[in-house]
């Protein structure tokens, strides 16, 4: 590959700047010399810096508004409240601002908390948590699955899949892997196909799936994790065996508990909740991870409050 010299490019930029000055600015500033010229240059530099600071403050303000709306959406999802409650929260925030800090009320007005915005923020949070789980799943030494199936208020079969994995440092993760809506039949083949698709989407290989036979050996998880995690490298084979049975789910209680959230959130008054939105809500409500709100906010295009 040829390395082109950088000097001609620099000269071209200098030439363009000089030509612009000679044609547009020279007549105006030619008479300014000596100390006056230095003061004028410093004043122009200061003006440019002030303009840049204005844009910087505006960007920071926009990101703060987005972070606020993300945190509100997260609270609503964890508490099982509908998206429209975000509009009520904004009304309450404006009333409190009027009484406590009226000079800051304008800042609260600029925060977008419409039901539509709350819906998008919930999707963003769910996507971020899903990506975090996908990255952690690549480090799993072993994992196991807990599944359960039940019908929601619209008589649609919902298949919940939870994953419990362990990495080489004995960090244990227990998260919602996927929520599958079974629109047609619910045969064993249908359930297996959805389970297989969930594993593929998270790039989890079958060979790392723990054997449920080891479930009977599962005992006092927390003490065992600390014990086996502290073993030296001389006990690698024992540690590999321990990683397998530590990942085994003790029961399907987690699935049953999550179905309670499904029935509470997707009720007769909110039966039009989409599968994607329900999946995001459940992921936020059941996760042990923390959504990266700063990263999400930096990727969202600011918009006018409504």
Question: Is the entire prediction scored with pTM above 0.85?
Answer: no
Long-range pairs for 210-216 at CB < 8 Å and ≥24 separation?
A: 210/142, 210/143, 210/144, 210/244, 210/245, 210/247, 210/248, 211/244, 212/144, 212/248, 214/244, 214/245, 214/248, 215/245, 215/248, 215/249, 215/250
pLDDT of 4: 44
CA neighbor of 172 nearest in space, from 223, 238, 241, 243: 243
Q: pLDDT band at 218, cuts 50/70/90?
A: very low
| Mean pLDDT within 56-75 | 81
Q: Tens digit of pLDDT for each residue in 87-125?
A: 999 999 999 999 999 999 999 999 999 999 999 999 999
In this predicted structure, the answer to whether residue 81 has a pLDDT above a threshold of 50 is yes
Kind plus residue range of the DSSP H or E element containing 50: helix 34-79
**Between 208 and 134, the higher pLDDT residue:** 134
Rounded to an integer, what is the distance from CA 124 to the centroid of its chain?
Answer: 6
- Please give the residue that has the higher pLDDT: either 83 or 305: 83
3-state SS, one letter per residue, for 69-108: HHHHHHHHHHHCCCCCHHHHHHHHHHHHHHHHCHHHHHHH
The answer on pLDDT for 297 being more than 60 is yes
Q: Per-residue confidence at 217, pLDDT binned at 50, 70, 90?
A: very low
Q: Domain coordinates of the chain in residue numbers?
A: 36-114, 125-296
CA atoms within 13 A on the CB side of 233: 0
Contacts of 282 (CB under 8 A, 6+ apart): 160, 176, 179, 258, 261, 262
Distance CA 200, CA 265 (A): 28
Mean pLDDT value across residues 272-291: 87
At 2-15, the pLDDT tens digits run 444 444 444 456 66
Residue 306 CA from chain centroid, whole number: 23
> Is 221's pLDDT higher than 60?
no
**pLDDT-derived band of residue 209, with 50, 70 and 90 as boundaries?**
confident
Percent above pLDDT 70 for the chain: 68
- Greater pLDDT, 48 or 94: 94
Judged against a pLDDT cut of 70, whether residue 141 lies above it is answered with: yes
51-65, 194-208, 275-289: which has the minimum mean pLDDT? 51-65
Q: Is the pLDDT of residue 305 over 50?
A: yes
CB atoms within 10 A of CB 262: 22
A 10 A CB-CB count for 125 gives 24
What confidence score (pLDDT) does residue 124 get? 94
Evaluate whether 153 touches 271 at the Cβ level (below 8 Å).
Answer: yes
């Amino acid at each position: 590959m040829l390395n082109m010299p950088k000097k001609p490019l620099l000269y071209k930029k200098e030439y363009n700047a000089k030509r612009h000055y000679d044609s547009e600015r020279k007549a105006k500033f030619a008479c300014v010399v000596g100390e006056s010229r230095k003061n004028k240059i410093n004043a122009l530099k200061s003006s440019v810096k002030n303009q840049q600071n204005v844009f910087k403050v505006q960007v920071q303000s926009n990101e703060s508004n987005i972070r606020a709306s993300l945190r509100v959406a997260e609270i609503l999802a964890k508490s099982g409240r509908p998206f429209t409650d975000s509009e009520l929260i904004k009304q309450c925030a404006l009333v409190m601002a009027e009484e406590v800090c009226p000079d800051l009320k304008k800042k609260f007005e600029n925060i977008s908390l419409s039901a539509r915005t709350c819906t998008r923020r919930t999707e963003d949070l769910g996507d971020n948590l899903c990506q975090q789980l996908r990255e952690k799943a690549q480090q799993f030494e072993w994992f196991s699955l807990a599944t359960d199936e039940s019908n929601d208020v619209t008589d649609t079969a919902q298949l919940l899949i939870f994953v419990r994995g362990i990495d080489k440092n004995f960090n244990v993760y227990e998260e919602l892997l996927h929520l599958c809506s079974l629109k047609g039949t619910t045969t064993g083949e249908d359930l297996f196909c959805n389970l297989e698709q969930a594993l593929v989407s998270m790039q989890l290989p079958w060979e790392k799936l723990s054997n449920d036979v080891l479930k009977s050996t599962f005992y006092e998880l927390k003490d065992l994790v600390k014990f086996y995690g502290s073993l030296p490298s001389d006990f690698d084979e024992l540690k590999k065996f321990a990683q397998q049975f530590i990942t085994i789910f003790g029961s399907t209680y987690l699935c049953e508990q999550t179905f309670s959230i499904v029935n509470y959130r997707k009720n007769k008054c909110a039966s039009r909740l989409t599968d994607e939105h329900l999946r995001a809500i459940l992921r936020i409500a059941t996760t042990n991870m923390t959504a990266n709100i700063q990263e999400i906010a930096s990727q969202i295009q600011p918009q006018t409050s409504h």
